[in-house]
Amino acid sequence: MVRAFSLISALLLSVVLLPGCENKQSMAQFVKVSGKVEARTGPSEKFVAAVQQGLLPSGGAVRTMPESSADLLLIASKGVIEIKPDTYFELPTSENDVRQESGTIIYRINQDKGGFSVVTPHGLTGVLGTVFELSVASDSTTVGVQEGKVSLTNRQGESRTVQANEKLVMDASGKFSEKTVFDLKTDSYKYIKQNEKWVPAKE
């Protein structure tokens, strides 16, 4: 396990880029790549193997294969996300919304006055400084919150608020389930807050 100081130094000093990334604004950097993880720099680009410490520009996308995962540091003090196996994730070309088409991601989002939103095929998840897990299946979106709170909005514009230790499911038609108890489990790096920012912890 890489210690926090050396890892953060590598993130700040790295000049390893995905092909075609040099002329685009970098919005994220790979903290960890495990197994087969692919990324592309834009909608018209091909997917290539992602590399640890590599950068991802606005409009870029990541997909993880079975038994593969990746952690991304969201630049501009947004936070850290843990992308689980069989997941597809896109960075925005503008505005603040990211897109999660499928799979499971743990989001650790820093306090940010501008907010943070995740678009899924079934609706929108709105965030303001929180830790939550978002799972997208073909027939539903599930949000589980460990810290803070998020809003889950369906395509009809109806919203529900999910708070710490709560889980809520929204099906493809926009119907919400009853809330249940949520307990976050992760096998990734341990992250801690320093000066209100999420960073990898020392082992």
Burial 37-76 (b: 16+ CB within 10 A, else e): bbbbbeeebeeeebebbbbbbbbbbbbbeeebbbbbbbbe
- Candidates 64, 46, 5; CA nearest to 30 is 64
* pTM exceeds 0.85 for this model: no
Instruction: Say if CB 131 and CB 106 are below 8 A apart.
Output: yes
Question: How many Cβ atoms are within 10 Å of 125's Cβ, its own excluded?
Answer: 25
CATH of domain 95-194: 2.60.120.1440
Query: Residue 150 and residue 41: Cα distance in Å, rounded?
Result: 29
Domain ranges for the chain, please list them.
Answer: 1-78, 95-194
Tens-binned pLDDT, residue by residue, of the chain (203 aa): 444 434 433 333 333 344 444 445 668 999 999 999 999 998 889 999 999 999 999 999 999 999 999 999 988 768 899 999 999 999 987 666 899 999 999 999 887 656 789 999 999 999 877 899 999 999 999 999 999 999 999 999 999 999 999 999 999 999 999 999 998 876 655 766 766 676 666 65
